[in-house]
Each structure stands twice: as structure tokens, then as C-alpha cells.
Amino acid sequence: MGWTATAGVVAALMALGLLTVSLLRARREAGRFRLLDEIARVSDGADDLPATLEAICDLLVPTVADFCMIDVLTDRGVERAAARASVRGGPEAQLGLANREPSTPAPMIREGAEASLEPRFIERMGEADLRDLAHDPDDLTFLRGLGIRSAITAALRARGSVIGTITLGTAWSRRRYRRHDARFARVLSGRLALALDNAGLFSDLERVQRERAEIAATLQRGLMPPPLPDIPGWVAAAMYRPAGAENEVGGDFYDAFPIAGGWMLVIGDVTGRGAQAASVTAQARYTLRTAAWLSGDPLVAFATLNSALLARADSALCTVVALSLSADAAEPVRLAVAGHLPPLLIDGDAVTEVAEAGPVLGAFGDASWSLEQTAVGPGQQLVTVTDGITEAGGGEDRFGEARLRAELAGSASPAISVSKLEGALDRFTAGALEDDAAALAVTPLQPPA
């Protein structure tokens, strides 16, 4: 009788366990059906592809994923259209995923390949998987830092063609995907592609891309630094090389304008690319120009721009070097540096830093900067560059500060300095820049003999 009672209890517990599992599974499936319906609702009511994809990522994170990326196929290849990371991953993860080149499985985007419908499912992300996904050592370091546990990439297929991919991943929640999650991802990708196609959004993709390219091209032309003016008592030269296609507007800039008692030269770089970088670049240039014209003081210009960047709704950072040149070229140059590579004084073969960098602009409300002075005599010159030069990639190496100094050593004039840098950069990168690059050089005008 005792054994029978015990067996009954065990059977009842097993039945309860099975019922609990069934209820949890039913709840999970019900939640996923609601998610699919919500995606369809968002897609049906949308008329803007980028905003719709961002909204869909918001639905998926953190409900079914710690991070989500949606990529689309364009005439330029696979491009990241939307990305979202859980707040637990921090802003670095969000920014890194948004800017990262997609790791799209080749069979998935091969037209007509049956394998393109099979999701890439990595249940337990290991070092070998990370190496397969990474594009270079820096990318591998970034992927390792995410702590990815599982990932699924599924094709977005509409009207018989693959039009993009969606990637779901787990990391910070410690969840791990199983086979049923991979099956759901395939259902999700099919529903998502159908909803977007029915809404007519993908049919407008080429138009959207063309419009974005036209807007970016206009921004690029408007942000191109102007030719340097004649500066009484000084000789100056500059170089600017934009990177990428027209729709990859970067954030390097330089400018020269009169102030009370002389001239001010500035060179800088803002974070990010695209339209946001363009807006920050424009704001930085004209805020610095206006504040410096009113005050004649680089530190006032820095403080004004710092306040303006902090007041923006987005996170905008800017590095700047400001050189204040007196109308009397015999007077020392006043200079200030905010988060930028310090200027270099070229004196024959000697190349020396002449200032220390203060805080980057847009990061701290209580930041302060120092105003330094350096004498620039006949035959000497000040050269300042953006990190698009020092960080330029060539093979497995970077251009670096040592190569920068070597190219500048012995340079006889600003025009020669920027010309040598441009030529060396072009040879080192084989003409393929990853980031904008700019350089600015100035020397006192030597009186005729």
C-alpha cells in the first residue's frame, strides 16, 4: 500500500511537471504569435523603411533577443539597415553593432540557392565561430567583448528573392537559443519579409537609397573645407581626403578665419558618419567661427562649442586643435587642444609635440582647457592632422605616429608637408581610406632677402 501511494505521488508529480512544461510552452508560443501580429501591425502602418526596421528591432529586443540586426541587399552589397542592443550591453555594444559590416552567410544571399532558406544557427558561440564571423582582429576583439552565447541569422525572402537578413543573438541575459528558436526565427523572417513587402517598403528601397545618396552628396559638397585664404604674414597649406562613397559623410574639417588681431586656424573631427556626423560637423565649424570671431579666444570658442554639443539630444563628440596667429608673425602662436592629436613643430629633422590635449568637446559640462604658446621661427612650421591619417589601415598595420613624423621630418614648407602626407597616405592605403583624413600646416612668411 505504501509503495502504491509513493508511485501515485511520483506519477502525479510527473504529470504536474509535464503540465507545467506544456503551459510554459503554450505561453511562449502565444507570446510569439502576439509578437508576429505586432510586427505585421507596425509594418502595415509604416511608410518609411529605416524607421520601420528600427521599430521592429525594438519589438524583438529584449523580448526574444539581447541584440538584433537587420541587413538589406542593395546594388552596393549587404548593408546594415537597423540594429538594436539591450541596455544591459551598454552604448558601446549598440554603436558597434550599428556600424559593423554585416557577416552575412554567402549561401544565404546567393540568388536561387536553396541553402539560402536555411538559418545560420549557432547554439553555443565559441572562439572558432567568432573567428569565422570577424572581419579583422579589431572586429574579433569587439565580438569577444559582447559575450555572445547564441545567434541565429535568417533570410528575408520575398517574391522569390532574398532581400535581406535578420540576426538575433543572446549575450547579457545568459539565455541560449535552442532548435525551436531557430525554427521560430525562420517563421519570423518569412512573416517579416512578407509584411514589409506587402506594405510596399522593399519596393521603395532603391528609391530610398537614391534619395539618401543625393542628400549625402549635397551634405558632402556643403561640408568640403574651402580653400585656405591668404593670411597676412603667414603661409599655410591644407589637405582633405574624404573616405568611402558619397553616402558615407564623415566628420573631419578644417577652417581659417580672421579674428581680432590676427587669424584663427582650426582642424577637428566629430564622431560617427552619415547625416548625424554632417550636422555635428556643420555645427562645430560655425560655432567655433562665430565664438572665436566675437571673442578672439580659442578657450571661449571651445567652451561655447562644448555647451552646444552637450545641449544636443544625441551624443555628439568633437576633437579640435585651434591655432591663433597674430598679425605680427614674430609673435608666438597661441594654441589649444581638445581631445585631438597635438600639433607637431617641424624644425629640420626634429619633430616635436608642442601642446597637451585637454578633454574632448561634448563629453563633460565642467571641462576646461589650457591655452599654450609656442614660437614658430623662420624655417619652422606647425603641422596638425586628424586621426584619419594615423589610424589609416594598410595591410595588417596602421599608418601610425612614427610614420607620420618620419614623413614630416626635413619638410621645407607647408605645401611640401601636406603633399608628402597625402602621397604617403595614398601609397600606404592603396587609395582605400577607411576614414576621412585632413592635415593643416602653417609657417611664418619669410621676408624677401
State pLDDT tens for residues 158-216.
Answer: 767 788 899 999 999 999 999 889 888 888 888 788 777 765 555 555 555 555 556 55
pLDDT attached to residue 9: 47
Answer yes or no: is 21 within a domain: no
pLDDT attached to residue 435: 81
**Residue holding cell 503540465?**
19
Phi and psi torsions of 429, nearest 5° = -95, 0
163, 284: one domain? no
Q: Could you tell me if 217 and 247 are in contact, meaning their C-beta atoms sit under 8 angstroms apart?
A: yes
154, 241: one domain? no
pLDDT attached to residue 170: 96
Task: Say which CATH number the domain at 150 has.
Answer: 3.30.450.40
User: Full-prediction pTM beyond 0.85?
Assistant: no
110, 256: one domain? no
Q: What contacts 268, CB < 8 A, 6 or more positions away?
A: 252, 253, 254, 284, 288, 318, 319, 320, 321, 340, 386
Phi and psi torsions of 375, nearest 5° = -80, 135
pLDDT attached to residue 352: 95
Answer yes or no: is 38 within a domain: yes
Task: Say which CATH number the domain at 309 has.
Answer: 3.60.40.10
pLDDT attached to residue 339: 93
Closest to 441 (Cα-Cα) out of 417, 422, 405:
417
Answer yes or no: is 250 within a domain: yes
276, 321: one domain? yes
250, 396: one domain? yes
DSSP string computed for 259-317: ETTEEEEEEEEESS-HHHHHHHHHHHHHHHHHHHHHH--HHHHHHHHHHHHHTSSS---
Answer yes or no: is 371 within a domain: yes
Answer yes or no: is 135 within a domain: yes
Q: What contacts 371, CB < 8 A, 6 or more positions away?
A: 297, 298, 299, 334, 335, 336
Residues of the domain holding 323 = 221-444
377, 289: one domain? yes
45, 181: one domain? yes
- Distance CA(307)–CA(300), nearest Å, equals 11
303, 372: one domain? yes
366, 295: one domain? yes
Residue at which a domain ends, from 165, 200, 235: 200
104, 35: one domain? yes
Answer yes or no: is 211 within a domain: no
- Distance CA(301)–CA(287), nearest Å, equals 7
Answer yes or no: is 15 within a domain: no
275, 343: one domain? yes
240, 379: one domain? yes
Which residue stretches of the chain have pLDDT < 50? 1, 3, 9-10, 13, 15-24, 26, 28, 112-113, 115, 245-248
Q: Could you tell me if 343 and 355 are in contact, meaning their C-beta atoms sit under 8 angstroms apart?
A: yes
Answer yes or no: is 330 within a domain: yes
As for how many domains the chain has, the answer is 2
**Torsion sign over Cα 24, 30, 36, 41:** negative
